[in-house]
Amino acid sequence: MKQAVRISILMCGLVGTYVAAAVPQVPAPDGGPILVCPPQQKLQGKCVALPPMMK
């Protein structure tokens, strides 16, 4: 009886892992441009923000 319970728990873990890996990943929302300059220069309009990284 104990062995059957252990086998059931292990099988649920294996099936759950497979199901979790099979679910397609949802892309994360983009955080926008990457700012690469100090705030003081940004206020003066001397910086340019890099575009978001493309995958």
Which residues form the domain of 40? Answer: 2-44
**DSSP class of residue 43?**
H
Q: pLDDT per residue over 2-54, tens digit each?
A: 999 999 999 999 999 999 888 887 766 665 555 566 676 666 766 665 555 55
Q: How many domains is the chain built from?
A: 1
Q: Is residue 35 part of a domain?
A: yes
Does pTM surpass 0.85? Answer: no
Q: Is residue 50 part of a domain?
A: no
Can you give the pLDDT at residue 50?
57
Rounded to a whole number of angstroms, the distance between the first and last alpha carbons of the chain is 51
Can you give the pLDDT at residue 7?
96
